[in-house]
């Protein structure tokens, strides 16, 4: 039987990461955590995994984010793939949060990197991270303990959470949408609309759709089954269809983008808006607003 050709990730990036990652440190970290007990503690038996999540190959790791290896290696690898720096990129979302929110939800929180940054900036707020992967939640909770930050992490599906209506001031997602089918991303925004109180803010940090469309080779570097479909979409349009107003997307360096919008203050039911055919003609709801601060 003919063997499948190696992906670009397997041929070039995986060997590079092997050199960059401190394997001994990862082994010590792995051995310091009681994975079976912790995973069992986080697993909600009521959560149903969507088929795309259990059958897709994320980053070349068998079982994707349900694999302990994914939780262990996510942070060491991510620091090298978010130019000009992971903290700065994630910080663009954190700094864009308006006002003094009392309750924040981080959807698809993964290992909790953005979640913990939100808690540091808003120490008085209740910050909750939600993810489908118990191993990732174990790592997130470990990081919170080390940082001495009080954050709640829960097992759940971002497109159908169990939280009450209008129970959050802010809902965000970092690097989530490019790892889901577009229909799921749209459903997550509808769920975010439901969860937000009137005037609440949604923030989506992810790959720059315009850049990904123009540089298709980036889509083949990592094993991301839905990234091409994501690149062909438009988060602004998805936000508008979910009912958000004052929608805006801005570049974060060149590889990422930050999209955000507000839930109308006077709304009884979501009233999705029909986007114009040419999104380049969409009126800028933030006239005079400057771009994100550039890295030093």
Segment holding 169, helix H or strand E:
strand 168-174
pLDDT digits (tens, 9 = 90+) for 179-230: 999 999 999 999 999 999 999 999 999 999 999 999 877 666 666 789 999 9
DSSP state of 3: P
pLDDT of residue 38: 98
Q: What residues does each domain of the chain span? A: 7-270
% pLDDT > 70, the chain? 79
Helix (H, G, I), strand (E, B) or coil at 127: strand
Given a cut of 80, whether residue 278 has pLDDT beyond it is: no
% pLDDT > 90, the chain? 67
Q: Summarize the confidence of residues 52-62 as an average pLDDT.
A: 75
Long-range contacts of 77-81 (CB under 8 A, 24+ apart): 77/17, 77/21, 78/113, 80/17, 80/20, 81/222
Minimum mean pLDDT range among 20-29, 82-91, 202-211: 20-29
pLDDT of residue 57: 67
The mean predicted confidence, pLDDT, of the chain is 85
CATH code of domain 7-270: 3.40.50.150
């Amino acid at each position: 039987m003919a063997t499948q050709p190696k992906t670009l990730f397997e041929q070039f990036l995986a060997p590079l990461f092997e050199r960059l990652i401190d394997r001994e440190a990862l082994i010590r970290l792995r051995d310091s955590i009681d994975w079976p007990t912790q995973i069992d503690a986080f697993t909600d038996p009521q959560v149903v995994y969507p088929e795309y999540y259990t059958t897709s190959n994320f980053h070349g790791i068998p079982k994707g984010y349900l694999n302990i290896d994914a939780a262990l290696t996510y942070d060491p690898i991510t620091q090298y793939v978010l130019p000009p720096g992971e903290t700065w990129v994630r910080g663009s979302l954190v700094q864009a949060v308006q006002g003094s929110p009392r309750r924040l939800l981080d959807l698809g929180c993964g290992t909790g990197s953005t979640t913990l940054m939100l808690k540091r900036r808003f120490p008085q707020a209740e910050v909750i991270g939600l993810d489908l992967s118990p191993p990732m939640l174990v790592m997130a909770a470990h990081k919170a303990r080390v940082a001495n930050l009080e954050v709640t992490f829960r097992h759940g599906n971002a497109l159908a959470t169990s939280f009450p209506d209008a129970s959050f001031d802010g809902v965000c997602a970092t690097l989530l949408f490019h790892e889901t089918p577009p229909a799921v991303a749209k459903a997550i925004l509808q769920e975010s609309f439901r969860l937000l109180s009137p005037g609440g803010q949604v923030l989506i940090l992810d790959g720059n759709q315009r850049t990904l469309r123009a540089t298709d080779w980036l889509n083949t570097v990592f094993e991301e089954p839905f990234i091409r479909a994501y690149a062909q979409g438009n988060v602004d349009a998805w936000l508008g269809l979910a009912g958000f107003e004052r929608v805006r997307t801005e570049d974060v360096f060149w590889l990422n983008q930050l999209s955000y919008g507000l839930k109308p203050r006077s709304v009884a039911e979501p009233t999705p808006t029909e986007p114009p055919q040419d999104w380049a003609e969409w009126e800028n709801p933030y006239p005079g607003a400057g771009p994100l601060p550039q890295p030093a």
